[in-house]
Structure 1
Amino acid sequence: MEVRGPYSNTKDQVRALEELREKLPSIDTPEPPSIRRDRPGRARQLGSEQVEQLIADYRSGATVYELGDQFGIERRTVSNILHRHGVQMRRRGLSPDQVDDAVHLYKLGWSLARVGDHLGVNHTTVLTKLRERGISTLDTHGRPRAEAGDAR
């Protein structure tokens, strides 16, 4: 007696294939219209008037973050536009009192991003200042973060 295992009774398999075939559209069914999508990766381009406005607003004290939100572009794009037009960039950073606040808030359990949003700077600025103060930080998984320059 030869044992064929699961392939000895093909009735169930044939029935399953027939059910699948019934779910397929008929050959005569017209193809559905394709969905029109925007091309990915195309950066939003600002017109010359918008660029002039962006530069004027920056010189009036607006931050690159505020301008990015205002014009619907990344803050790095704002910086690139300002650099291309020879605009002197401001370096905000954090004052010593703000760094004290950042240390306090981080020790209370705030994330780097939340502390950065609260103080109006990027989370990497907060991370740099905490490291300068010798504060050990955790990564997004709650593990001790590698110090700058450490290889893991």
Structure 2
Amino acid sequence: MHLRREFENPGPALKTVASRLSRGAYKRCERPSEPSVADSRGRVVRAVGKTQTFLSAAEVDELVALYEQGMTLAQLGERFGVYHRTVAAHLVRRSVPMRVRGLAEEHSSEAVRLYEGGMTLMEVGLHFGVSQGAVKRAVAAAGATIRPRGRRPLVTA
């Protein structure tokens, strides 16, 4: 195929491509019909250094059941060998209601009490197993004043 004949006024980039094509610099290759990698679960596609694992319908059913029993997205991702966002995508496709992230409502009053008692946002977060941002949102929503960073209240004895 002679690209130069197809275009009346080719630019430098097109001239380079046409020249390389005419010299045979570009080789045409066919993709294999079967994926090059497979494991016990089935086909695995390797592209751009990342391996993509396809879960069967039965595996997705198991994933949904385990999520509903309380496993986290990260735990499920590790168990099934997929990224945690892939787990979330499977759950969304199955219309599974996602658990609310952050501090549970029943812990909000306790978190406010601990924070106003002198603990930092980080310490309260570690106590409940959530991030300091989640604690900050819950404490602010409860109407408590957020101290400047690194400041603890003065404790008088």
Normalized against structure 2, the TM-score is what? 0.44
Task: Please identify which structure carries the higher strand content.
Answer: 2
Normalized against structure 1, the TM-score is what? 0.45
